[in-house]
Amino acid sequence: MDYIKQYASEKAKYEEFKNNQLKMDISRGKPSKKQIDYVSAVFKKAENEYDLYEHRVGDDKQDLGNYGLLLGITELRTLFGSLLDISSENIIIGGNSSLSLMYDMLTINLMFGNPQSETPWNKAGKIKFLCPTPGYDRHFMMTEHLGFEMINIPIYPNGPDMDMVESLAGSDPSIKGIWCTPLYSNPDGYVYSDDTVIRLSKMHTAAKDFRIFWDNAYFTHHLVPKKINRIANIIKLCEEYGNPDRVYQFSSTSKISFPGAGVSLIASSKNNIKHIQDHFKYKIICYDKMNMLRHAIVFKTKEDVELHMENLSEFNRPKFKMVLDILDRELTDYKEYLHYTRPEGGYFISLYTMENCAKKTYELCKEAGLIITNVGDTYPYGKDPKDSNIRIAPTFPEIDELEKAINLLVCCVKLAILEKLVQK
């Protein structure tokens, strides 16, 4: 490749993009307007057939418009038990945000500890958290805000580096937990292997009160037709290996129903659920049970959810295919300098460009009117040690705008790489 000639060609394309005064955003994993319109129609149809304001008494035989039922309504606890293959007694249905439940669990452990704690975490001196990277920026923001020292753990297609996890967690009692997004990880789209889940469940930890924060956000968000990836049941495995209280599992309907207006859940051992309930009773009487009922009349069975999610995948599958087609076509000559993931579900694609080129790519994109995820956000403290990871979120723009955005992105990726190569 003639680097100088290629640079001039890409620079000309880039100036053309800039002249078009574009304004595009692929920075966050948000559903599109068309997807939310579809979900709205599904809910409207169900509510037209069932007047939830008149028929407010569900399986719990209580008026769901009134106070009570801190653990959530039976219909949804049963539904999510079926979806996640756990007992409904192991589930609390929360408000609209699983992130809020994660924050609650961190703060409860900090202030009061958990059933295995000899002292609250914030009385235990310096405390640390294991962070498979790249990962979800909101996880890292929480643990940083609450004063944890975060430790980067490399992640591979079968999950985090378990040799490193076992070595660190097994030798350092100040390490109190680990973040995990086990199915279609954010941003790589990786799926934890059974071996990884087993090792997490059975490993020795120096801290008796060690906790796995299991963010199962994409448990039913598949993209490949007729291919459903599943992960091992960590709650059952923790119980089997004698660590029943080790894991808190979280999820929500944010990308099943409405982002910011769905329902969330935490699932754990019965011992942990009782411990959580004993603390939640001081902060809230109940979550929004009318919204729970609204979801229960739409999703009565596991099969209802699975069919609905197959319908939703039709909004996102063509977008992921188009992004990967463009990357394959435009970046063929650059494969020795970069690579990218091919997720089978979830909401993101990870592009790893040449080292020390991601920030430059971000700046070029921004200057031309395209917002991508802040470089470094997928790592603790906002610091990508190789300055190479770019998270692509294809779901929000409509497909014609997404095509423009990805063509601009690859132009910027090539410019940043060529600039380095020309300087050599």
Say yes or no to pLDDT of 200 above 90: yes
Residue 420: pLDDT over 80: yes
- State whether 116 and 228 are in the same domain: yes
Judge contact between 57 and 63, C-beta under 8 A. Answer: yes
Residue 372 in contact with residue 362, Cβ under 8 Å? yes
Q: How deeply is 147 buried, as exposed, middle or buried, from its count of CB atoms within 10 A (0-12, 13-18, 19+)? A: exposed
Burial class (CB in 10 A: 0-12, 13-18, 19+), 419: middle
pLDDT at 423: 84
Residue 364 is predicted with a pLDDT of 98
Q: How many CA atoms lie within 13 A of 60 on its CB side?
A: 22
Task: Look up the pTM and report it.
Answer: 0.97
Which of 300, 320, 350 terminates a domain? The answer is: 300
What DSSP designation does 108 have?
A: H
| Domain membership flag for residue 287 | yes
Domain co-membership, 252 together with 172: yes
Q: Are residues 292 and 349 in the same domain?
A: no
What Cα–Cα distance (Å) separates residue 155 from each residue in 48, 215, 291, 388? 46, 15, 37, 15
Query: What is the number of other CB atoms lying within 10 angstroms of the CB of residue 246?
Result: 28
42 inside domain: no
Residue 374 per-residue DSSP state? P
Q: Compute the distance between CA of residue 282 and CA of residue 70 in angstroms, rounded to an integer.
A: 11
CATH number at residue 112: 3.40.640.10
Please give the average per-residue pLDDT across 111-116, as a whole number: 98
Mean pLDDT of 121-129: 97
Q: What string of DSSP letters covers 54-92?
A: T--B-TT-SBTTSS--TT--HHHHHHHHHHHTS-GGGEE
**Is 50 part of any domain?**
no
Whether residue 105 lies inside any domain: the answer is yes
| Residues 112 and 94 placed together within one structural domain of the fold | yes
The answer on pLDDT for 424 being more than 80 is no
Q: What is the amino acid identity at position 218?
A: Y
Mean pLDDT, all residues of the chain: 97
Q: Are residues 249 and 349 in the same domain?
A: no
Residues 178, 132 contacting (CB under 8 angstroms): yes
Q: Are residues 226 and 328 in the same domain?
A: no
Q: How far is CA 12 from CA 19, 198, 374, 412, in A?
A: 11, 53, 25, 11
Please identify, among 271, 300, 329, the residue that sits at the C-terminal boundary of a domain: 300
Are 293 and 174 part of one and the same domain? yes
Quote the pLDDT of residue 406.
Answer: 98
Report the alpha-carbon distance of residue 36 to residue 307 in Å, rounded.
16
| Mean pLDDT calculated for residue range 36-55 | 95
Same domain, yes or no: 219 and 76: yes
Least confident of 5-9, 133-137, 143-147, 320-324: 5-9
Residue type, 407: N
49 in any annotated domain: no
CA–CA gap between residue 94 and residue 71 (Å, rounded): 8
Residues 83 and 158 grouped into a single domain: yes
Q: Is residue 38, in this structure, part of any structural domain at all?
A: no
CA angle (184 as vertex; 182, 186 as ends), nearest 5: 90
Read off the pLDDT band of 22 (50, 70, 90). confident
List CB contacts of 51: < 8 A, sequence separation 6 or more: none
Any idea what the CATH number is for the domain that residue 377 is in? 3.90.1150.10
Proportion of the chain above pLDDT 70, given as a percent: 100
**Of 65, 103, 34, 39, which is closest to residue 254 (Cα–Cα)?**
39
Tell me, yes or no, whether 352 lies in a domain: yes
- CA 149 vs. chain centroid, Å, equals 21
Q: b/e per residue, 161-199, with b = 16+ CB within 10 A?
A: bbeebbebbeeebebbbbbbbbbbbbbbbbbbbeebbbb
What's the mean pLDDT in 174-197? 99
Least confident of 1-10, 206-215, 233-242: 1-10
Same structural domain for residues 17 and 122?
A: no
The answer to whether residues 7 and 79 belong to one domain is no
Kindly state whether residue 48 falls inside one of the protein's structural domains.
no
With a cut of 80, say whether residue 1 has pLDDT above it: no
| Nearest residue to 413 via CA among 14, 28, 5 | 14
Residue that finishes a domain, picked among 273, 300, 327: 300
- Which structure tokens are listed for 391? 């998270």
SS3 40: helix
Instruction: Say which DSSP state 345 is in.
Output: B
Residues 24-34 have a mean pLDDT of 96
Instruction: Report the domain count for the chain.
Output: 2
Q: Can you give the residue range of the structural domain that contains 383? A: 3-30+306-423
Q: From CA 175, how far away is CA 167, in angstroms rounded?
A: 11
- In a shared domain, residues 78 and 223: yes
